[in-house]
Structure 1
């Protein structure tokens, strides 16, 4: 059965990532560290260690992902398809706030629980709606690029949803491993929209010192 293979990559770091501020759909650019990470990723994708012939390059239309794609994948010679369906989750009125403030609000029972699949987010997306959007976006890509190798640049929340779908895990299962900036995550989707995980969390292209700072 013909499979569409995905290499799903998180964008490089932004200053808001470093400051632990909630970005969502806000269009925050790469930081200098994020640009360096994208360059390191590009070096890896050009190297003999990455032997895959890339047929398609797609990206979230938010600049932190699209710029990562431009820096890291332009050498493949494919146009980068900007895909709004691959955007991060919209956090509505909570976008721009720092995580410590949000966690304190939740502890005081004043805030929303972003991990509750049914929790409504004012001006944003409930987790179950975000899940449906991401699954539909990848299954549409799988149908349009059946049997091809797709390099996709997106966001941490998107990668979390893909991990759950490919692992057959529910939205309320705790994920212990971090999703690092410019990490590479592999999965495939067949003609019946069955997802299969191949590899996850690859970061061999990043300098050890950078990983020490993140983990």
Structure 2
């Protein structure tokens, strides 16, 4: 875990203490591995299910979270790889309600969706050029989102959920590109966030004064049996 800080408060591993009444504790989990992750195939908002490794990872993170304070609710992207991860976590945590939310989806990557990463430049050079552009307002042909659009959607979604749950602990299951934007909001002057690995756990505190603090970032200490995809594909910079 990297040693970053936000608002002069250090990221640490203390996510198991009771949640005070003045902020929401949001536990953000990336979905488990898919077959497309394993072969570096771009998913975006295409609906790909977990593979067997991903289901094992979901069980392991569920076991971990079951030993921590029980969440009030679990929110999840409505895409299969996230919603299945969320259901597995819920089953481990005592039948917690699972709410699907389309705003928690991965970045829409337009015409690049369904392509293998190393073939994108050749298969669709126009969309690839837009994806690689340093202009964060550049949209990807085929209905793809810009970085700015993803940032607004992801941070607004987290804000909305947090304001409904001040004084509570909730879990959100979502995607690598989405989670990277949450880091950018909480640590705008921080270093690179690194890879967001499958079923990694990050903990955010959000209060009514719009203060964001990261208390834990990208922890995968629970993955003792299944391990994780070394490339981090979909949770690295290639996730958008």
Q: TM-score normalized by structure 2? A: 0.79
2:158 and 2:127 mapped to 1: Cα distance? 35
Counterpart of 1:138? 158
Asked if 2 retains the 8 angstrom alpha-carbon contact of 1:45 and 1:73, the reply is: no
Contact 1:61/1:83 (<8 A) preserved: yes
1:107/1:132 CA distance change after superposition, 3 Å: same
Structure 1 distance, partners of 2:200, 2:164, is: 25
Deviations 1:139-193 (A, max 9, x none): 1101111221111100001110111111124xxx873621110000011111022
Instruction: Check 1:115–1:8 CA distance in 2 against 1; reply closer, same or farther (3 A cut).
Output: farther
Number of equivalenced pairs: 209
Q: Supply the distance in 1 between the matched residues of 2:122 and 2:181 (Cα, whole angstroms).
A: 25
2:17: which partner in 1?
none
> Structure 2: how far apart are the matches of 1:106 and 1:187?
37
Question: For the Cα contact (< 8 Å) 1:54–1:76, is it kept in 2?
Answer: no
Q: Give the Å deviation of 1:108.
A: 10
In structure 2, the residue matched to 1:46 is 66
Structure 2: gaps of 5 or more residues: 1-20, 233-240
RMSD: 2.5
Query: Partner residue of 1:121?
Result: 140
Question: Contact 1:6 / 1:188 at 8 angstroms: preserved in 2?
Answer: yes
TM-score by length of 1: 0.88
Structure 1: gaps (5+ residues): none
Residue 37 of structure 1 is matched in structure 2 by 57
* 2:90 equivalent to 1:73: yes
Structure 1 CA distance for aligned equivalents of residues 49 and 198 of structure 2: 13
Deviations 1:23-42 (A, max 9, x none): 01100000111011111112
Distance in 2, matches of 1:37 and 1:209, equals: 6
Q: How far off its partner does 1:209 sit?
A: 6.5
Identify, as 1 or 2, the structure richer in helix: 1
Name the structure 2 match of 1:97: 115
